[in-house]
């Protein structure tokens, strides 16, 4: 296979207008900037507030993005919903739009579901979409979804749908799990992405494909630089620096903190908005964050 | 206020056809039977696999139900979704259809969200629906949603939207929590429903309004009988009997077990189907359940 998505992808944050509607203009502009910084577009992820959007709102953003002229080969939208029919609809649209892949949450409402049930879910989606161009990246994020992608499930899916099941994003926050995934599954047709750039160097050293990471939204160039130069002598130093920036953002819940910084750097306060149940960054904390980032020499070049 | 929903409501299980599409005919038929057994209709609940349905699938079932002629005063559909716009759309439809109330999950994708964020979520929905006929029953089900309705949140919502915020279903499984809700909030304009008939007698003795309970789908008459006669001498005996039947159903995950029993009693195997990520009841366990229920003299009269 050629043209596989590798490297750094950002789960693109979704801008809202004053009425809390998704703002396609700001969204496309942010995506264009990310691409200019060598980041791929994993829009409709956790940090995109994707599950706070209706299916129709997601379709409208996808269409706006595709018609903006950005190459769909850089796109890996999230399409995993609680409802089978929603996942099928979004996945079908993504494949038809030519997206390189989709990042797929398991259905996350019911807890303690069986491996059989999760296999059945992915299986139904793959069969209903019925397109050989489909590439699914499994999305393992137990702290949020509370429903996990186990090694046993991956094994069954790879056996049933080789080629289609194309990789995983590991947002467990547990390096031991990523290491297991690299050892057991990383191959030319199955890519392991770490879910935070904090693990990027370790993931590259273990043979991984890169990182799909929140702060790819604000710090893509530095993270991409480490992705390209991970075999150089100064890689550990670079890792420490990007980790430091990540930690600075984490003093506020990440979605709110990244949006507040984009609002600041773009001089566009509307960017700070989030949809409920989230809350935008408190003024004092956002100000502290700006001070801290200035101290660190953090920049976003538009 | 008159005509408040009290008593026993069933979170109506959703039948699927062989293609896993919601089956409106079987759905309406089951609802008609439930109403004939004095159960209210809390369709689109956890046991309805509501979050496994798209918004359009839910709207189609709501329309089929309303046009069947069943009195909407008996209806309390679930309308709480992860996406604000979905919750608004479904709630608006329910109010327009004349439903007595809606049962509203908090947005359940993000975990550890703030009370401010949850208040903001309910608040936005109430304001966007903007209809004085709206009655919201809060849905507290931490084992599944993992996002809780705290006493502090109820207090703030009642202060901001008295009359509109009309009650709660407590599916915590923790009687201490239900007792707290009864003591702090039960009133003529705020009703506390226990989320399982196992607590029905305790809830009635504490001044509660009844129960919205899974097994209302299969055992509504006996549960309703206890609701009506909870002050009689044999109430504890009745409670023990309905609890026993509940426990029998619980040997298999409840949705699958109830559907397998409806399929059996209606001699209609298609009723046993569930959508992924759930799995229908294994044959051997379903057979054991039928044996056990026969032993207990369990009946469903159509």
- The one-digit pLDDT tens for each residue of chain A (302 residues) are 347 899 999 999 999 999 999 999 999 999 999 999 999 999 999 999 999 999 999 999 999 999 999 999 999 999 999 999 999 999 999 999 999 999 999 999 999 999 999 999 999 999 999 999 999 999 999 999 999 999 999 999 999 999 999 999 999 999 999 999 999 999 999 999 999 999 999 999 999 999 999 999 999 999 999 999 999 999 999 999 999 999 999 999 999 999 999 999 999 999 999 999 999 999 999 999 999 999 999 999 88
Query: Closest Cα partner for A286 from A265, A246, A256?
Result: A256
* Residues in chain A within 8 Å Cβ distance of B60: none
Mark yes or no for CB contact A83/B143 under 8 Å: no
* Residues in chain A within 8 Å Cβ distance of B85: 53-54, 57
Q: What angle do CA A127, A128, A134 make, to 5 degrees?
A: 70
The answer as to whether A202 is a domain residue is: yes
Laid out side by side, the sheet with A136-140 consists of A40-41, A7-10, A210-212, A191-194, A165-170, A136-140, A102-104
* Residues in chain B within 8 Å Cβ distance of A120: 276-277, 279
Residue B270 and residue A100 in contact, taking contact as beta carbons nearer than 8 Å: no
Report how many Cβ contacts below 8 Å link chain A to chain B. 111
Residue to substitute from A44, A82, A256, interface B, most B β-carbons within 10 A? A82
Q: What CATH number did the domain enclosing A39 receive?
A: 3.20.20.70
Per-residue CA distances from B184 to A198, A230, B181, B189, B207 (Å) = 46, 59, 5, 13, 11
The answer as to whether B253 is a domain residue is: no
**Structural tokens at position B236:** 């504890």
Mark yes or no for CB contact A117/B279 under 8 Å: yes
* Residues in chain A within 8 Å Cβ distance of B124: 20, 276
The answer as to whether A299 is a domain residue is: no
Mark yes or no for CB contact A277/B51 under 8 Å: no
Residue B246 and residue B293 in contact, taking contact as beta carbons nearer than 8 Å: no
Mark yes or no for CB contact B124/A83 under 8 Å: no
Q: How near does any CA of chain A get to the CA of B236, in Å? A: 33
Q: How near does any CA of chain A get to the CA of B89, in Å? A: 10
Q: How near does any CA of chain B get to the CA of A238, in Å? A: 31
Minimal-distance CA residue of chain B relative to A46: B110
Instruction: Provide the percentage of residues in chain B whose pLDDT is more than 90.
Output: 98
Mark yes or no for CB contact A57/B83 under 8 Å: yes
pLDDT for residue B271: 98
The answer as to whether B262 is a domain residue is: no
Minimal-distance CA residue of chain A relative to B119: A277
Q: How near does any CA of chain B get to the CA of A46, in Å? A: 8
* Residues in chain A within 8 Å Cβ distance of B109: 46, 51-52, 108, 144-145
The answer as to whether A94 is a domain residue is: yes
Q: What angle do CA A76, A22, B144 make, to 5 degrees?
A: 70
Confidence of residue B4 (pLDDT cuts 50, 70, 90): confident
Residue A261 and residue A289 in contact, taking contact as beta carbons nearer than 8 Å: yes
Minimal-distance CA residue of chain A relative to B89: A54
Q: How many domains does chain A have?
A: 1
The answer as to whether B269 is a domain residue is: no
Indicate the residue of A53, A84, A123 with minimum beta-carbon distance to B83: A53
Per-residue pLDDT of B53-91, as tens digits, reads 999 999 999 999 999 999 999 999 999 999 999 999 999
Minimal-distance CA residue of chain B relative to A57: B85
ipTM: 0.96
The answer as to whether A70 is a domain residue is: yes
Per-residue CA distances from B168 to A187, B159, B181, B211, B212 (Å) = 51, 15, 9, 10, 10
Q: What are phi and psi of B82, to 5 degrees?
A: -70, -35
pLDDT for residue B76: 98
Q: Angle formed by the axes of helices A84-96 and A55-67, to 10°?
A: 10
Q: Name the one residue in this structure whose structure tokens are 């793959």.
A: A126
Q: What are phi and psi of B103, to 5 degrees?
A: -105, 120
State the residue range of the domain holding B144: 7-230
Residue B170 and residue B210 in contact, taking contact as beta carbons nearer than 8 Å: no
The answer as to whether A263 is a domain residue is: no
């Amino acid at each position: 296979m050629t043209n596989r998505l590798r490297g750094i992808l950002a789960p693109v944050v979704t801008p809202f207008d004053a009425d809390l509607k998704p703002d396609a203009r700001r969204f496309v502009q942010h995506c264009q900037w990310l691409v200019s910084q060598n980041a791929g577009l994993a829009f409709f992820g956790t940090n995109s507030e994707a599950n706070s959007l209706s299916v129709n709102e997601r379709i409208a953003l996808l269409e706006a993005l595709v018609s903006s002229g950005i190459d769909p080969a850089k796109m890996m939208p999230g399409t995993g919903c609680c409802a089978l029919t929603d996942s099928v609809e979004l996945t079908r649209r993504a494949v038809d739009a030519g997206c390189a892949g989709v990042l797929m949450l398991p259905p996350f409402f019911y807890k303690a579901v069986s491996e059989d049930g999760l296999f059945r879910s992915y299986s139904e989606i793959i069969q209903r979409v019925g397109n050989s161009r489909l590439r699914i990246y499994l999305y393992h994020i137990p702290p949020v979804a509370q429903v996990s992608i186990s090694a046993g499930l991956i094994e069954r899916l790879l056996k049933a749908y080789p080629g289609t099941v194309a990789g995983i994003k590991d947002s467990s926050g547990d390096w031991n799990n990523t290491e297991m995934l690299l050892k057991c599954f990383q191959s030319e047709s199955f890519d392991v992405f770490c879910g935070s750039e904090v693990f990027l160097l370790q993931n590259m050293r273990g043979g991984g494909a890169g990182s799909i990471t929140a702060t790819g939204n604000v710090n893509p160039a530095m993270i991409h630089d480490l992705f390209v130069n991970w075999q150089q002598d100064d890689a550990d130093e670079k890792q420490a620096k990007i980790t430091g920036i990540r930690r600075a953002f984490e003093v506020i819940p990440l979605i709110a903190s990244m949006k507040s910084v984009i609002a600041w750097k773009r001089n566009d306060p509307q960017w700070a908005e989030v949809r409920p149940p989230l809350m935008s960054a408190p003024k004092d904390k956002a100000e502290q964050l700006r001070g801290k980032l200035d101290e660190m020499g953090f920049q976003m070049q538009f």
